[in-house]
C-alpha cells in the first residue's frame, strides 16, 4: 500500500513507521520535517499536501496538540487549542483525504485513553478526543458505501513519554509505542470501520 503518515517524526509516528514501513510504501509528513510538510490547522496546507502526494491507499494521523491545565484557570482560548489542533486538524485531514483515497482505502486517526478515563487538568484533551471518536463513528457510516474505511486508535500514555506526561497519569499503566503501533496496522490492513481500537 501507499500510506501517508502525518506526524511521522513523533514518538508514536516513528513506531507506526517502523511497523508499517516493512511491507508498505510510506510518505512521511510533518509540520517541519518529513518527505512533505503540512500544517493541519490550515486548509490550504492540507490541500497542498494532497496535491503533492496524489492518490493513496491509507492516511494515518499520529499528531495533535491539546491544552493541559486547571479548569479554574482555563480560558476559551486555551480550550480552543485542542479543538483547532487535535480535533479539527485530524477532521480537516480526513475531509480532504476521503477524496484522495483509492477504493478500499482507509483513514486512521489518534485519540487517547482520556476520552473515556478523564484526568486532572485534562478537560480539553478529553473533550477533543471524545469528539474525534464521535466523528469517526459517524463518518464511517457515510464512507462505507463508498468503499472507504475510518477508525481511531486510542492509546494509553506512552512509556516513552512518561518523563513528560507521567505526572498527569498517576496509576495508569503505560504502553510502549511499538505496542500501540500494532493497532494502526490492524486499522490499515484489517476490514473494520467506525472502530476505536484501544491500547490500554
106-158, pLDDT tens digit by residue? 999 999 999 999 999 999 999 999 999 999 999 999 999 999 999 999 999 99
Q: Could you report the per-residue pLDDT of 150-194, keeping only the tens digit for each? A: 999 999 999 999 999 999 999 999 999 999 999 999 999 999 999
Cα distances (angstroms) measured from residue 35 to each of 6, 52, 99, 107: 10, 10, 21, 19
CA distance 86 to 68: 13
Q: Could you report the per-residue pLDDT of 64-87, keeping only the tens digit for each? A: 999 999 999 999 999 999 999 999
Q: Note the pTM of the prediction, 2 decimals.
A: 0.97
Total residue length of the chain: 200
Instruction: Say what the pLDDT of residue 155 is.
Output: 98
Q: What element of type H or E holds 107? A: strand 101-110
Amino acid at each position: 500500500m501507499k500510506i501517508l503518515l502525518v506526524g511521522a517524526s513523533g514518538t508514536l509516528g516513528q513506531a507506526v513507521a517502523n511497523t508499517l514501513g516493512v511491507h508498505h510504501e510510506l510518505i512521511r509528513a510533518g509540520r517541519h520535517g518529513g518527505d512533505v510538510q503540512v500544517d493541519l490547522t490550515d486548509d490550504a496546507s492540507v490541500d497542498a499536501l494532497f496535491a503533492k502526494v496524489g492518490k493513496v491507499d491509507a492516511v494515518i494521523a499520529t499528531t495533535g496538540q491539546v491544552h493541559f491545565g486547571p479548569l479554574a484557570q482555563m480560558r476559551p482560548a486555551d480550550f480552543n487549542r485542542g479543538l483547532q489542533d487535535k480535533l479539527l486538524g485530524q477532521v480537516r485531514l480526513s475531509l480532504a483525504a476521503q477524496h484522495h483515497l483509492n477504493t478500499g482505502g482507509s483513514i486512521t486517526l489518534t485519540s487517547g485513553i482520556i476520552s473515556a478515563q478523564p484526568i486532572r487538568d485534562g478537560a480539553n484533551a478529553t473533550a477533543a478526543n471524545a469528539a474525534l471518536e464521535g466523528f469517526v463513528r459517524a463518518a464511517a457510516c457515510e464512507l462505507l458505501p463508498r468503499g472507504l474505511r475510518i477508525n481511531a486508535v486510542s492509546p494509553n500514555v506512552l512509556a516513552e513519554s512518561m518523563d513528560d506526561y507521567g505526572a498527569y497519569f498517576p496509576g495508569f499503566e503505560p504502553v510502549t509505542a511499538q505496542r500501540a503501533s500494532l493497532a494502526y496496522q490492524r486499522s490499515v490492513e484489517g476490514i473494520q470501520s467506525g472502530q476505536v481500537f484501544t491500547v490500554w
